[in-house]
Amino acid sequence: MPSSHQRIEIVRRTYYDSVTLMLVAKELLKDGSLSVASLSMGTEANYKIMGSGGFDLTGVDATPNDLIIAVKTGAPEAEREDVLTAALAKAKEYLANPPGRKADSGGDYRPKSLDGALSVLPDANLALISVAGRYAGDVAMDCIEKGLNVMLYSDNVPVEKEVEIKKAAAEKGLLVMGPDCGTIIIRGVAMGMANACPPGPVSIVAAAGTGLQEVHVQLARRGVGVLHGIGTGGRDVRREVGGIMCLQAVNALLADDEVELLIVLGKPPAPEVEQKILQAVKAGKKPAVLGFIGGEAKGDSGGVFICRELEETAAVAAALAKGGDGARARENLFREYEALRQRAETIGKRKGFLRGLYSGGTLCYEGQLIARDILGPIRSNTPLDKKMKLEDSLRSEQHSMVDYGEDEFTQGRLHPMIDVSLRAERIYEEAKDQEVGVILFDVVLGYGCNDNPAAGLAEGIRKARSAAGDRIVFVASICGVDSDPQNASEQCRILEELGVHVCDSNARAARLAAMILEG
C-alpha cells in the first residue's frame, strides 16, 4: 500500500496564539520538503479550510480546544514517511520555542496583571484588551472600575455584555472602544492596525477597522491629518446597543477645542440611533461629515455633509478642513470615477464574473455596494442582502466578494491583514474557474499588518496568471501611505510588476473591476 502524502496530528487541549502558529507553519515550509503545512485550532471553519486545501480529514476528531498539525508533501514515496515524521517533530520543537519571536528575557520586567501595570503606570487612562472573547467583558469591566478607557480588541463578546460594559463606562464618562476594535488613533498616535499618517484637525468616530483606516489614509493623501480616531465596535450603532459609545465619542470630540472637523463613519446605524447622532452633531456647531456607507440618509444641511462611500467622506472632509467647498469636492471625485470607464476600456473588457477577496470588512461591504450598482447582485459571506449569502464561503458563485476577516476565517487563525496566505491560495483557485473575468482584492498596510503583503500575495497571483493567462484582470487597492512600515509605493510597484491594476482607493478599485465586466 502506498504511503500517504499527508500526516495529521492532534495536540489535545493546547492553545497557541495565531502568530506563533503562522510562524511555525512558515518555518516548516522553508526547506521545500512540504507542499502544505497548517497549524490551526480544530474549529469547524478550519476543518473546511483544511479540506479545501486537499487534506483528507477522515477520522480527525479535534475540537476547537485542540491544535491540529497537518503537513503534506510531494516527496517521492520512499522519502515520504521520513519527511512527514521529521516535519511533525520539527513542528513540536518550534512550538516549544517559536521561531522569529524574541525571547522574553534580559529586559525590564513587564507587569502581567492590571494591578501590576497600574503600579508602574498609575496615571494610565487607557487599557488595550486582547483576550479570548468570553473573558474580555469581565476584564473590560475591571478596567472601567479602575477608571480606565478601554480599547477592546477582542471579538466574540456577547452583545449583552457589550451593553453592560458600555453603560458602566458611560456613567463614568469613559470610552469603550470595541469590541472587535482593531484601530484607534489617540492624539495622532495609532494603536492596533493603523497607518502612519500625520496628526491634524480632523477627528473620526468609526466602527473601527478598515473603514477608519481607509478614511485616515485618504485624508492623508489629501494633506489632512487626524487627531483622534475612536472606534466603537460595529454593533454599537445597532438598536441593541443604541449607539452608547458613538454618542459618547461624538460629544467628547465636539467638546474638544482641538477638533475642528468631525467625521462619523460606518455602516448605516439603526434609524433611531442615526437620528440621535444627527441631533448631536448638529448641536455641536462644528463642520461634520457623516459617512454612513450605503446609507439612505441624503442631503447636506448646514455644516453637516452626508456621504455614502469612504473616499467620498474623506474628500468632502478634506475640502472642508482646508476651508474649501465639500460639495464641489464630491462632484470632482465622482467625475474622476466616471473617467475610470476609459481606463477599463484601455485595459480591455472581459467576460465572466467578478471575484472579490477582501481582508477588510468595511472595504468588502463598500465594494459590494459599488459593484452591485454596476453588475447587479453580489454574493458574499457578508452580503448586503441575506438572500445573497454564499452557501460556502470557500466556493464563489457568480459575482462574489468574500470577507476573510470574518470570524469563520479568524477563529484560531491570524487575521488576513497579517497572514495573507489563505487569500493567495484563493486567488489561484478563483483563476482556475473559467467563468471568472476579474479578481479584485485589497492590500491593507500599517502597523500590525503583514510586513510585505504584496509579496505574500505574489505567489498566488503568479500561479493564477499561469493558469488563466490574459483571461483574468487583477485589480487591487492599497490602503496605506509611504510612511507605513510596508511603504505603499513599494507595495504598488510589486503588484504592478505582476500586472495588477492598482487603484488609489477601494471605491475606485471596485468601480474599475466592475466596469471591466460591464456589458
Partner 1 sequence: MGPRTFLAGTLPPVHVGKRLLFDLRDVPAIYAPRLSPGRMNPRWIGLVSEWRDFLTDDLAVLKGPAERGAWKELTGLGPGSTPAGDDFLSGLASGMLWQGKTVPFHPDPGLTSWLSGDMLRDACEGGIWCRAKCLLEALASDEPKAVTKSAGSIADWGHTSGRAWLAGLSEALCRERDG
Q: Are 185 and 259 in contact (CB under 8 A)?
A: no
**Binder of partner 1 out of 10, 86, 88, 118 (CB under 8 A):** 118
State the minimum distance, in angstroms, from the CB of residue 438 to partner 1. Answer: 52
Residues 6+ apart with CB under 8 A from 466: none
What is the rounded CA–CA span in Å between residue 443 and residue 193? Answer: 13
**Binder of partner 1 out of 13, 61, 78, 115 (CB under 8 A):** 115
Alpha carbon 269 to its chain centroid, in Å, reads 20
State the minimum distance, in angstroms, from the CB of residue 266 to partner 1. Answer: 37
Question: 64 or 111, CB closer to partner 1?
Answer: 111
Half-sphere exposure for 250 (CA within 13 Å, toward CB): 29
Question: 106 or 348, CB closer to partner 1?
Answer: 106
Buried b (16+ CB within 10 A) or exposed e, 189-218: ebbbbbbbbeebbbbbbbbbbbbbbbbbbb
**Binder of partner 1 out of 1, 13, 32, 112 (CB under 8 A):** 112
Task: Identify residues 205-224 at the interface with partner 1 (CB under 8 A).
Answer: none
Q: Are 240 and 163 in contact (CB under 8 A)?
A: yes
Stretch that binds partner 1, among 101-109, 418-426, 447-455, 488-496 (CB under 8 A): 101-109
What is the rounded CA–CA span in Å between residue 392 and residue 387? Answer: 13
Question: 117 or 455, CB closer to partner 1?
Answer: 117
C-alpha cell at 125: 487612562
Three-class DSSP category at 233: coil
Question: 121 or 339, CB closer to partner 1?
Answer: 121
Three-class DSSP category at 206: strand
Asked if 434 touches partner 1 (CB under 8 A), the answer is no
State the minimum distance, in angstroms, from the CB of residue 448 to partner 1. Answer: 24
Question: 131 or 369, CB closer to partner 1?
Answer: 131
Asked if 119 touches partner 1 (CB under 8 A), the answer is yes
∠ CA 497-503-365 to the nearest 5 degrees? 125
**Binder of partner 1 out of 74, 100, 116, 499 (CB under 8 A):** 116
**Binder of partner 1 out of 2, 76, 122, 469 (CB under 8 A):** 122
Asked if 111 touches partner 1 (CB under 8 A), the answer is yes
Asked if 110 touches partner 1 (CB under 8 A), the answer is yes
Query: For partner 1, how many residues bind (rule: CB under 8 A)?
Result: 18
What is the rounded CA–CA span in Å between residue 407 and residue 402? Answer: 12
Question: 109 or 160, CB closer to partner 1?
Answer: 109
Asked if 105 touches partner 1 (CB under 8 A), the answer is yes
| Whole-Å CA distances, 159 to 127, 248, 327, 334 | 20, 18, 38, 38
State the minimum distance, in angstroms, from the CB of residue 413 to partner 1. Answer: 26
**Binder of partner 1 out of 32, 59, 76, 107 (CB under 8 A):** 107
Q: Are 288 and 281 in contact (CB under 8 A)?
A: yes
> How deeply is 450 buried, as exposed, middle or buried, from its count of CB atoms within 10 A (0-12, 13-18, 19+)?
buried
Stretch that binds partner 1, among 115-123, 225-233, 272-280, 460-468 (CB under 8 A): 115-123
Asked if 96 touches partner 1 (CB under 8 A), the answer is no
Stretch that binds partner 1, among 109-117, 330-338, 405-413, 421-429 (CB under 8 A): 109-117
Q: Are 480 and 217 in contact (CB under 8 A)?
A: yes
State the minimum distance, in angstroms, from the CB of residue 24 to partner 1. Answer: 20
C-alpha cell at 35: 507542499
Q: Which residue has the cell 458613538?
A: 246
Question: 112 or 387, CB closer to partner 1?
Answer: 112
State the minimum distance, in angstroms, from the CB of residue 92 to partner 1. Answer: 17
State the minimum distance, in angstroms, from the CB of residue 175 to partner 1. Answer: 23
Residues of this chain that interact with partner 1 (CB under 8 A) are 105-122
